[in-house]
């Protein structure tokens, strides 16, 4: 399935107002993980109140011990500071990588902005080496923009 054909499905899930925000985010994670072969762990992290750390939100994939990530630590923590997408073709080549699973070979993290503020991110791990392209980045930017529209004001 192409990213273009996934966009209406993402919008449909996120606009299902009879589900909670967490349920919609979880369903979005499931859609991406089930549809894109090389998306093996899909989850959201959000700024944890006024603390300089991220807190794990809805996700699908293997359980992780990384429920809180300090800003600057790991790929997610770096994105919290840089406000930039971070594509890691080979996690073994990253000094500041937090290993979640020995099977993970690559990672992509794209920030979520609300009113210009980085309030969270989507994080995707892959068990495939160097799978992410510019098309993944553009698609995940789309997902993050759609997610930003449904987030409660209490998050930021």
Question: What's 128's domain CATH number?
Answer: 3.30.450.40
Contact present, 114 and 135 (Cβ < 8 Å): no
- Tokens of residue 84, six digits: 């930039």
Which residues constitute the domain of residue 145?
3-155
Percentage above 70 pLDDT, the chain: 93
Q: At what angle do helices 134-148 and 21-35 cross, to 10 degrees?
A: 160
Give the number of other CB atoms < 10 A from CB of residue 127. 16
What pLDDT is recorded for position 154?
A: 66
Kindly tell me the sign of the dihedral angle through the C-alpha atoms of 63, 41, 18, 48: positive
What pLDDT is recorded for position 91?
A: 77
Which residue, chain included where needed, has tokens 């993980």?
33
- In order along the chain (156 residues), what is the average pLDDT of each group of 10 residues? 94 96 98 97 95 97 92 94 95 69 89 95 96 97 98 72
- Tokens of residue 74, six digits: 């790991």
Write down the pTM of the prediction. 0.94
Domain count, the chain: 1
Give the number of other CB atoms < 10 A from CB of residue 20. 12
What pLDDT is recorded for position 92?
A: 78
Contact present, 29 and 59 (Cβ < 8 Å): yes
């Amino acid at each position: 399935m192409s990213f273009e054909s996934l966009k209406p499905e993402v919008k449909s899930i996120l606009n299902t107002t009879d589900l909670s925000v967490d349920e919609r985010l979880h369903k979005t994670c499931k859609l991406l993980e089930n549809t894109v072969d090389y998306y093996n762990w899909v989850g959201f992290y959000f700024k944890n109140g006024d603390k300089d750390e991220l807190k794990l939100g809805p996700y699908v994939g293997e359980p992780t011990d990384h429920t809180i990530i300090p800003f600057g630590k790991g790929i997610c923590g770096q994105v919290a500071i840089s406000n930039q997408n971070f594509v890691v073709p080979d996690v073994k080549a990253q000094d500041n990588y937090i290993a979640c699973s020995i099977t993970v070979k690559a990672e992509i993290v794209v920030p979520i902005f609300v009113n210009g503020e980085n309030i969270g991110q989507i994080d995707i791990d892959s068990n495939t080496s160097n799978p992410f392209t510019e098309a993944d980045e553009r698609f995940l930017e789309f997902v993050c923009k759609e997610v930003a529209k449904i987030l409660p004001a209490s998050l930021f």
